[in-house]
Every structure is written in structure tokens, then in C-alpha cells.
Chains A and B, each alone.
Chain A
Amino acid sequence: MPELNPQNIGLSASGLLLFRGERCLLNHLALRVAPGEGLVLRGPNGTGKTTLLRVLCGLTLPEEGDVHWNGIAIRQQRNEWQRALGWSGHKAGLKSELTVRENLEFAAALAGHRPGDIPAELGLAECLDLPARVLSAGQQRRSSLARVLLGNALVWLLDEPYTNLDTQGQAYLNACLDRHLAAGGIAVIASHGNAHSALGMTEQTLMNGALQ
């Protein structure tokens, strides 16, 4: 284990290059998010916000460049990185036949910790014991986010988390983000809408494969 350079702590990426067909989605993109910092990715549909998040979490392999966690490329320390990572994607990731509670318990076991209490503010109280297939879109989003919000991941990567949430849900998410960042966590969010995000987060726009 090389000694941790304070400049390296956190999530960073350098030289990310990715084509989808003829289009260059990431053009030698670089970014750095230090502990306690949050980044909101803005930009119209199709600019590659989701792709960038998938590259950051390690699902998509860039053609060139690497994503680093505490200074080491994530593909060289997959296990450490995935222990730090909480990912909520476009798809909810819920098994339709299992209840919300069972889904969350499974997610907790998968992440290697005991399932905690489910706070009332999450707004899932009345559907905890219903199978996930009967949930509304907003409830599904809440359940999917709950997996990250109630876990103990250091890095939250959330793709369009505000979609389908009502104002109360958005406020709760922002409160969670504030608490997470205040505790030294990291968050990267993709959001095309104008739902205003948590206070301490910087906004950047993804355009032509680079952050502006």
C-alpha cells in the first residue's frame, strides 16, 4: 500500500476517453472530488452523464484513462472500491417478487452489514411489506435510494435521483446528502432537471465530452 498523499484522497479520474459509435462521449475528461465534496453533473439528455457515472463506478470500461480511488486505479482494487461505493442507477435494482424490506435486507447483506432501521421520513412505512412490483414509480425510486442512503458507503453515485420524487422526497434526499457530505462523504449526482440540489454541492455541465 503506497503512502496516501493527501492530494490523492477521494475520487478522481484522468484522461477518460470513450466513444459510443461515432460519438465521443468522454474526451480526455478529468475530475476530482475530495471527501466532503459533492458534484452535480448537469447537461441535456444524451450528453453522457449516465455513461460518466457508470465509468466512475466501474461498470463501463473507458477506452483510455482510469478512475482512481485514494490514488489507486479502481480496477486494481475492485474489492476496496466496491466496499466504498453506493450506486443507484437508472434501473431500481429491486426484485419484483420480494418485499421492500426483503430487498433492503438483501442489499445490506450484500454490502456486508446488518440492516438498520428504516426512518419514517423515507415515506416507505406503509409499503415495506408489499412486493416491489406493486410499488409506484416514486416508491420504487425511494426504495432504490434507501439502499444507498441507509448503507454505509463513502461514495454515493446517484443517477437522476430526483426523478419521480415528490417535494418531500427531494427534501429528504437533500438532507441526507448534506449529512453525508458533512460527515466527509463524497457524492456525484447526475441530474438534468432543475430540482435544486443540496447546499454544499458544486454544479458542472457535461458538454462535448468535457466538464464545464
Chain B
Amino acid sequence: MIAPVWLLLQREMRQSFRRWSDLISPLVFFVVVATLFPLAISPAADVLRQVGPGVLWVAALLSMLLSMNRLFRDDYEDGSLEQLVLAPQPLVLLVLGKVLAHWLQMVLPLLLLTPAVATAYDLPAEATWVLLLSLLLGTPALSLIGGITAALTVGLRQGAGVLAVLLLPLSIPVLIFGSRATDLAVTGMDTTGPLMLLGAMSILAASLAPFGIAAALRVSLD
């Protein structure tokens, strides 16, 4: 069962490290969005500490939205998506490998950058840990749900706009629990509840979303 996931993961990694410049733009986007808020609202530390958890979560979500548009688009355009769909391997596992690779390439670097950005928002160390943990637990759900919407819009000319309209409302629960968990940590309250709910949502998404992605890809290739 692991083999198809691993096969795709390997190919994606090899190929995107040869075009590493593509990996940079979501990161830069994340940092730039995070820079806009102190400029637009206020650089005062107490204000930043209050909006920081929400802003960083929204910035991460928007950065993922940006990279999600590319998830299947290259494969669709060069025809290798047809090959994946017609391969004698379970498509559900192939797309799981694809989403996993995307998460490792596009979201994991974001997590590594988060402590630095959190410092700029004057978040206490404790809250930064919770923020990281919430991103670690919540972003897989976003990647998987985003995978469905990316698969549905891959063949469309105006795909990016439709993708945003589809994905953003569906990502609200993850956003709420993720930013609230960090918020609670800033004020020194218990955060296990929302963190566990984030983990539960990722597990639920991992067990259901691959079927949705596979079905959606079949529709897009029709």
C-alpha cells in the first residue's frame, strides 16, 4: 500500500528540487503578507500580539492557496495526469503521495519560517510552540481539502479564482481552531481541545479526501 505513495513522492521530490525556484515564492508570499499587517494596522507590540495568531494563520492559508493552484496543473498540461489516472495502481494512493509531496515542499518550509515571523509579532515562546503545533496538525487537512478543489478546477481557464471561492469557506474550521489555539496560548489558557480537534480534522481529511481527489481528477480529465 505504501509503494504507490512512495513512488509519487520520489518523483515529485526529484523533479521539484530541479526547479527549486518554484518552492520559494509561497515562502516569500507568506512573509510579505505577514509584513503588511503591522504596516496596515499598528506596529504596537500589544496590538500585534493580539492579531498575530490570526494573521499568521491567514497568511499561511493564503500561501497554501497560492501553491495549491499548481498542485495538478503541470501534470494536467503535460499529460502525465492521464498516465497517473490510467495506471494500474490505486489512484487514491497516488494522489495521497502527490498531496504529501506538496505538503513537504510547500508547507513544511513555511513551518520552519514561522518562529522568526512569530518573533516579529512579539508572540511569547509558549504561544509560538502552540502556533507551530497547530500548523503542523491543521495544514494537512488544508492540503487535502485543497487537493479536492485543485483537482476540480485544474482543467478550467479561470481555475485560480474558482479555487479560492471553493477552498476558503471549506478551510474556515481549520482556521478557527488553529488561530484560537494560538490565541489561547497567548493568554495562557489550555489549548489541548482545539489542537486535538485540528488533529481529528486532519485524520478525517486523510481518510476521505483522497477518494474525493481521485473522483475529481477523473471528472477534470473527461
Binding site for B on A (CB under 8 A): 57-61, 79, 82-83, 85, 87, 89-98, 102, 106-107, 109-112, 131, 144, 147
1/0 per residue, CB under 8 A from A, across B208-222: the answer is 000000000010011
Q: Which residues of A contact B15 (CB under 8 A)?
A: 95, 97-98
Q: Which residues of B contact A58 (CB under 8 A)?
A: 86
Known contacts A98-B11, A112-B88; A107 and B83 CB within 8 A of each other: yes
Residue in contact with A102 in the complex, picked from B14, B89, B221, CB distance below 8 Å = B14
Interface hits, B75-95 → A, CB 8 Å: 77-80, 82-90
User: B19 at interface (Cβ–Cβ under 8 A)?
Assistant: yes
Q: Is the CB of A59 within 8 A of B86?
A: yes
Given contacts A95-B80, A96-B78, A110-B7, 19 further A-B contacts (CB under 8 A): A59-B82, A61-B222, A79-B88, A82-B87, A87-B86, A89-B79, A90-B79, A91-B77, A91-B82, A92-B78, A93-B80, A94-B78, A95-B15, A97-B18, A98-B14, A98-B15, A106-B7, A106-B11, A109-B7
Known contacts A94-B78, A106-B7, A109-B7; A59 and B85 CB within 8 A of each other: yes
B84 to chain A, nearest CB (A): 7
Q: Which residues of B contact A83 (CB under 8 A)?
A: 88
B155 to chain A, nearest CB (A): 12
Interface hits, B134-181 → A, CB 8 Å: none
Q: Is the CB of A110 within 8 A of B83?
A: yes
Q: Is the CB of A112 within 8 A of B89?
A: yes
Q: Which residue of A lies closest to B83 (CB)?
A: A93
- For the complex, count residues of B whose C-beta is within 8 A of A: 23
5 contacts between A and B (CB under 8 A): A83-B88, A93-B78, A110-B87, A110-B89, A131-B18
Q: Is the CB of B11 within 8 A of A93?
A: no
A119 to chain B, nearest CB (A): 22
1/0 per residue, CB under 8 A from A, across B118-131: the answer is 00000000000000
Q: Which residues of A contact B78 (CB under 8 A)?
A: 91-96
Q: Is the CB of A94 within 8 A of B80?
A: yes
Q: Is the CB of B19 within 8 A of A97?
A: yes
Q: Which residues of A contact B83 (CB under 8 A)?
A: 87, 93, 107, 110, 147
B72 to chain A, nearest CB (A): 13
B105 to chain A, nearest CB (A): 13
Q: Which residue of A lies closest to B75 (CB)?
A: A95
User: Which of A58, A96, A110 has the most chain B CB within a 10 Å cutoff?
Assistant: A110
A57 to B86, CA, bound (A): 8
Q: Which residues of B contact A112 (CB under 8 A)?
A: 88-89
Q: Is the CB of A110 within 8 A of B84?
A: yes
A-B interface, 3 closest residue pairs, ranked by CB to CB distance from nearest: A91-B79, A93-B79, A83-B88
Q: Which residue of A lies closest to B81 (CB)?
A: A93
Q: Is the CB of A92 within 8 A of B87?
A: no
Q: Is the CB of B11 within 8 A of A95?
A: yes
Q: Is the CB of B79 within 8 A of A60?
A: no
A11 to B153, CA, bound (A): 32
Q: Which residue of B lies closest to A58 (CB)?
A: B86
1/0 per residue, CB under 8 A from A, across B1-43: the answer is 0000001000100111011000000000000000000000000
A58 to B82, CA, bound (A): 10
Q: Which residues of B contact A94 (CB under 8 A)?
A: 78-80
Q: Which residue of B lies closest to A95 (CB)?
A: B15
Residue in contact with B82 in the complex, picked from A89, A96, A98, A131, CB distance below 8 Å = A89
